[in-house]
Chains A and B, each alone.
Chain A
C-alpha cells in the first residue's frame, strides 16, 4: 500500500467533485457505499447525486491511493464500510484550501461588495 506519510497531498490535486464529496462524507464517521450516497445527496440538498458505478470507481481509486481504507466498524455481511485515512484527510484539507484560495481571488477580482 501507499505510504501516506511520505507523499505530498498536493500531488493529487485537484480532486474530481465526486471524489471530494466522498472524502467529505467520510469525515465524521465510517460509512458504507449506500450511506455515502445518501450523505452526499443530503449534504448538497440533492444537487450532487452519485450513481453506483461512479461511486465504486471513486472508492476503488481512493483505496488504491490510500485516501480511505476498509473499516470493520459499520460493515455487515453484505457491505464494507470505509474510513478516511489520515492521508485522505490531508488531501481533503488541501483541496478545501485550494478551493478557498480560488474563491477568495475570484471575490477580489469580481469586487463583490461586503467582503
Chain B
C-alpha cells in the first residue's frame, strides 16, 4: 500500500514537531490512531474528506506541538529555579554581576553607538565628506581650505553634487539683551544644501543676502570702525541676515515664535535680521576643537584669497560616486592648483575624509578601548555564570546519571543546563537594561566635556535589541560551556561510585575558566595602572608655563568705542588700560592679553627669513600684550620680553619660542635676527621663550609672538591674570573694570589655566575612571571565582583531608596543600594575562603618556595585586581545610 506509506511518512514528519519525550511516549499510538482515522475517512468521505482531515491534522499538530514545547520549557524553568534556589549565595552573586555586567555593556553600547556608529543626523549622511587642504609634509588630519581653493573646487569638481564651506568665528551680540560673545560660522552658498539641513523655522539665505554679504568684512578693524562711525552719525546700519541655532533660540530668545524678523545688533557694527532657526542636528557638526556653532551668516569667498585657509569645506558625494572617486579627482585638482599657484599651494594636497570620521576621530580610540574593557568584564561575568551552572550540575550528578540510565538523552541534560543559564541571563538582561537606563546619566557626566554628539546618546530600540542580543549570547555561551562536561556523564561510573562530585575533566575545566578570569582581570588591572601612570606623568609634565593661580577670561574683539578715529589702535590702548587696572587689583601679580597656550593657535603662512625668498611654512603667530608672558609664567631664555615701548609705530619686534628659534636658525642665536612676517614686515627678534604645552598638552608649541599693538588685524584673545588669591574672588572686580572701559564688551568664559589643563586630560581621565572601575569589578569577580572553585575542592576532599590529618598531617600542611593547588590556577592565569596584555598593548598605545605599554613596574604591581587578592580569596577555604576536624570529616562519609 504505497498510499498508506506516504501518509505514514507525512504524519511521521508532523510528529517530529513534538518534543522527543512526548514523541517517545505517544508517537506510535498517535500514528496508529491517525492511520485508522485516515482509512475510515478515505472509505466514507473520499478524497475531499481526506483533504479536510489533513488540513485539520496539520493545524492541530502544529498547535499541540507548540503547547508541549512550552510545557517542557516551563518544567525545565521550574527545575532550574529550584536548582538555583539551592545555592542562594552564588546565584545572587552571579545574578548581581550579570545585571551589572550587562548593564554596563548596554550603557556603553549606547554611548559608542550614539557617538561613533550612528549616522549623522543629516539625510544620506554617509555621503558627506570633509575636504581638507594639507601640507603633504605634515602629518595633519584636518586642514581648512582657502577661498581660492574652494572656488576652484566648486568650478571643477564633478564627484560632488554639492559643496559648501564655513568659517568659525565669534561675534558679540550687543542687543537685545546682555552683551554676549557667541561662537558661530559664516557660510558660503551651498553649505546647508550640501548637508541637507533645513531650518525648523524661517528659511536659509537668499542669493541677495549672499550678494550683500560680499560687500562687508566682519573682522577687519578698519571696516568695523567705519561701520561704528556710520552708526554714530545716524546713518542706516549695514544689514545682514543671520540664522540661529536651536540652542541659542531656546536659551537667549526663550523659543519665542516671533524670533523671525528680529534684529540683532552686533559689536562688529552689523545689524543682522534673524531669517531662520536651524534644528538641533546642527549641533552634531563640530570639529575636534570647536564648540557647536550658534549662528550662521552668509559669506562670499574671494577667488583671489589663496592664503587665508579658514574654510571648513563639506561636500556631498554625487550619486554613484565613491570616496575613492572623490579622492582620485581631488588628487588631480590639487596638483593642478599647485601648478597654477605655486606660492600658496606648493606641497599641498587635498584630502577627502568621511564627515563622521572628522567629528569623532578624537574620541574613537578612547571609546573603543573602554568598550573593549567592558566586554572583558562581561566575559568574566559569564565565566562566573558557568561556574554556578557547573557546580549545580556537579551537585546533581547522581540525579543526572540516574536520569541518563533511565533513558533521558544527553540532549535533555544540556537543555536543562541551557534553561538554567537562560534564566540567569534573562534576569541579568532585564536588570541590566534598568541599570543601563539609570547609569547612562552618570556615564555621560563622566564623559569628557565637549565630547562630540553627546546629545545624540540615548536609550532607544537598538539598545534594547543589544541588551536582548547580549542576553541570548550569554545564555548560549554559558549554557553550552557548562554543558561540555555534563555531556560526558557516564552513568555506570557515577552510579557505581555513588559519590556526588565533579569529574576530573569538569574540575580541570573549571580551573581553566578560573585562570581565564584571572587573566582578563590582570589585563584590565595592567591597563588601569598604565592609565594611572599616564595621568601622573601628565600632572608632573613641564608645561613651559606655571598654571597655578592663573585665571583666563575670553576678551572677544573687536569691541571699539564708537567715534574713535584711530580704530584698532584705540582698541589696543583700551585693552592696555584694562590690563593696567586689573594689575592694580589686590592679589594680582601680573596680567596680559594674548590667548591661552591651551587655546586655538593661528597658523600663518608666508613667513620668511631676511634675505631669503623661501616660505618657512605655516608657523603659529600669537599677538600678545605686555604682561602676558609674566602672567603665564613663561621662561625667558634669551633677550627680553615685550615692554610698553613696543608701540604701533615703534620698531617691529617679535619673541620666538625655543623650538621655532632652533627651526629657523639652527646652531645660531636667534636674537637680533630678522623675520619677514606678512602682516608686520621686517621684524627683529628680541627674545626667546621656552616652548609651552599646547592644546594637546603632551605636544609643545610656541611659534612667533608679536606685540598686539603692532598687528593690523584682529584675533579673538584671552586675558591671563596671575593671582595669589582665589581666582573666583577676582571676577567681580575684573568684570567691573571691563564694563567701565566699554559697556558693550562681553566678559565671559572665566576659567583657570588649571581647568583648561584638566579639560585636556579629561579623555584620559575618562578612560582611567572606567577602566579602573572595570578592573576592580573584574578582580572581585575573579576572586569570587577562585574562592568558589577552591571552596568546592576543599568540600570534595574533606575525606582525604580527614585521612591525612588522622595519619598525622599538621594543620599547616593541609592549609599549604590547598594553597599550592590554587597557586597553579593563579600562576597560569597571570601568565596568560601577561601574554594577553602584551599582545593587546597597541590598543592602549595612543592613550598612554610618559610610560611605555611594556612598563615592567606596572606589570609587576598588577601581578602582585592580583596574587595578593587571590591569596586572600584562597586563604578562606585553606583555613577551613586546616581547621577541619578529622573525626567529623571521616564520619561524614
Contact = CB atoms under 8 A, between A and B. Distances in A.
B28 interface: yes
* Interface of chain A, main secondary structure: helix
Contacts of B60: 51-54
Interface in B135-188: none
Contacts of B33: 32-34, 37, 52, 55, 79
Interface residues of B, number: 21
A58 B32 CA distance: 17
B64 A37 contact: no
Contacts of B32: 33-34, 78-79
Contact of A51 (B22, B28, B36, B56): B56
A57 B37 contact: no
Contacts of B22: 56, 60
B282 to A, nearest CB: 61
A96 interface: no
Interface string B174-209: 000000000000000000000000000000000000
A34 B25 CA distance: 16
Nearest to A49: B56
A80 interface: yes
Nearest to A34: B33
A24 interface: no
Contacts of A57: 64, 67-68
A57 B67 CA distance: 8
A34 B26 contact: no
A32 B29 contact: yes
A102 to B, nearest CB: 26
B456 to A, nearest CB: 51
Contacts of A33: 29-30, 32-33
A21 B60 CA distance: 17
Contacts of B36: 34
Contacts of B30: 33, 52-53, 56
B550 to A, nearest CB: 81
Interface string A58-77: 01100000000000000000
A80 B29 contact: yes
A75 to B, nearest CB: 10
B65 interface: yes
Interface residues of A, number: 17
Given A37-B37, A60-B22, A54 B29 contact: no
Contacts of A79: 28-29, 32-33
A34 B34 CA distance: 8
Interface in B18-50: 18, 22, 25-26, 28-30, 32-34, 36-37
Interface in A20-64: 32-34, 37, 49, 51-57, 59-60
Residue of B61, B63, B64 ringed by the most chain A CB atoms within 10 A: B64
A80 B37 CA distance: 17
A34 B67 contact: no
B4 to A, nearest CB: 14
Nearest to B28: A78
A71 to B, nearest CB: 13
B26 A59 contact: yes
B57 interface: yes
A80 B30 CA distance: 11
Contacts of A52: 30, 33-34, 37, 57, 60-61
B299 to A, nearest CB: 76
Given A34-B36, A34-B37, A37-B37, A53 B29 contact: no
Contacts, number: 58
Interface string A71-100: 000000011100000000000000000000
B418 to A, nearest CB: 23
Contacts of A56: 22, 26, 29-30, 64
A53 B64 contact: yes
Nearest to A81: B29
A109 B64 CA distance: 38
Given A33-B33, A37-B37, A54 B64 contact: yes
Contacts of A55: 33
A53 B57 CA distance: 8
Nearest to A58: B64
A53 B36 CA distance: 15
Q: Of residues B32, B61, B68, which shows the largest number of chain A Cβ atoms within 10 Å of its Cβ?
A: B32
Interface string B640-680: 00000000000000000000000000000000000000000
A69 B68 CA distance: 20
Contacts of A59: 26
Contacts of B63: 53-54
Given A33-B33, A34-B37, A37-B37, A60 B25 contact: yes
A37 B36 CA distance: 11
A86 B60 CA distance: 30
Nearest to A50: B60
A74 B26 CA distance: 16
Interface in B59-90: 60-61, 63-65, 67-68
A78 B30 CA distance: 10
Contacts of A53: 18, 30, 57, 60-61, 63-65
Nearest to A57: B64
A37 B38 CA distance: 13
Nearest to A78: B32
Nearest to A59: B26
Nearest to A41: B37
A52 B56 CA distance: 10
Contacts of A49: 56
A53 B60 CA distance: 6
A37 B68 CA distance: 20
Contacts of B68: 57, 60
A53 B34 CA distance: 10
A32 B25 CA distance: 14
Contacts of A54: 60, 63-64
Interface in B797-823: none
B34 to A, nearest CB: 5
5 contacts: A51-B57, A53-B18, A56-B26, A78-B29, A79-B32
Nearest 8 A-B pairs (CB), nearest first? A53-B64, A51-B60, A34-B33, A53-B61, A56-B26, A78-B32, A53-B60, A33-B33
Interface of B: 18, 22, 25-26, 28-30, 32-34, 36-37, 56-57, 60-61, 63-65, 67-68
Given A34-B32, A54-B64, 7 more contacts: A33-B33, A34-B33, A52-B37, A52-B61, A53-B30, A78-B29, A79-B29
